[in-house]
Amino acid sequence: MERRNFIALVGTSIAAAPVWANVYNSKMPAQKAIDSVFPELPYAYNALEPAIDAKTMEIHYTKHHKAYFTNFMAAIKDTPAADLDLKSIFADISKYSTPIRNFGGGFYNHNLFWENMSPSKTNLSVVLKDVIEKNFGTFDKFKEEFSNAAKKHFGSGWAWLSVGSDGKLFVSTTPNQDNPLMDVAEKKGTPLLTIDVWEHAYYLNYQNRRAEYVDNFWNLVNWDTVGKRYENR
């Protein structure tokens, strides 16, 4: 996505362009991103309550996400990866170190996750509704497939709605901090929507009840962001 499109996108949903736009939506070398400040959360810690409680959000953002960012920056320092943008790194991730894979994925995936949630209600665009229905039959069937994937994924990881290079939408999950942009992903594509199903994303509020967390996630989805991701893929 071009940076100007990204700015147009965030303008529709949140007040200011997150700083991390510089990191993964532009051709800025990743090394240069070290100089960027850690990106701001696009809403307050309590903004997504009750679905996601403030304490979970604060720890998730200030501890987990921040650590992925810091460790990723340390992992790429003085390596060839430092001169590449994130998407280029992911496309060849099997050639990089495990820390670059885990921390780079952790940094990027959380950015996507924060952005595809919103405290205010958003609506599915006509374009996205059509393409979801074309690919899944009905919106409810898509929702069911995504929910089941998120609920049943074994252990830590992420569930995704992505668009493949053939233009078709698909649901998948990835383990750990992998994502569909990585060459190691079983199903590869451009992510449109994601949910973090690591226990740290829900355990304080839901304990073992991941299914409840996943069901409540639907109240948070920022369809403006998802729609723009599809249009700008």
Q: How far is the CB of 126 from Mn ion (least distance, A)?
A: 32
* Residue 97, CB-side half-sphere exposure with 13 Å CA sphere: 14
Q: How far is the CB of 104 from Mn ion (least distance, A)?
A: 14
The reply on whether position 178 binds Mn ion by CB under 5 A is no
Q: Which two tokens stand for residue 116?
A: 């595809």
The reply on whether position 69 binds Mn ion by CB under 5 A is no
Q: How far is the CB of 110 from Mn ion (least distance, A)?
A: 6
The reply on whether position 196 binds Mn ion by CB under 5 A is yes
Phi, psi of 41 (to 5 degrees): -70, 135
Q: How far is the CB of 197 from Mn ion (least distance, A)?
A: 9
What is the C-alpha separation between 117 and 125, in angstroms, rounded?
Answer: 16
Of 109, 221, 189, the residue nearest 101 (C-alpha): 109
Of 221, 169, 212, 168, the residue nearest 194 (C-alpha): 221
Here's the x/- map for Mn ion, 6-45, by CB under 5 A: it reads as: ----------------------------------------
Q: How far is the CB of 120 from Mn ion (least distance, A)?
A: 23
Q: Which two tokens stand for residue 8?
A: 């147009």
Among 198, 213, 223, 230, the residue binding Mn ion under the rule CB under 5 A is 198
Q: In the complex, which residue's CB is closest to Mn ion?
A: 196
Stretch that binds Mn ion, among 8-16, 63-71, 93-101, 118-126 (CB under 5 A): 63-71
Alpha helices in the chain (DSSP H): 3-13, 21-24, 30-33, 54-59, 66-76, 86-91, 98-115, 126-136, 139-152, 203-206, 210-217, 223-231
Measured from the CB atom, is 4 or 154 closer to Mn ion?
A: 154
Measured from the CB atom, is 85 or 196 closer to Mn ion?
A: 196
Contacts of 84 (CB under 8 A, 6+ apart): 29, 30
Measured from the CB atom, is 132 or 161 closer to Mn ion?
A: 161
Q: Which residues bind Mn ion (CB under 5 A)?
A: 64, 196, 198
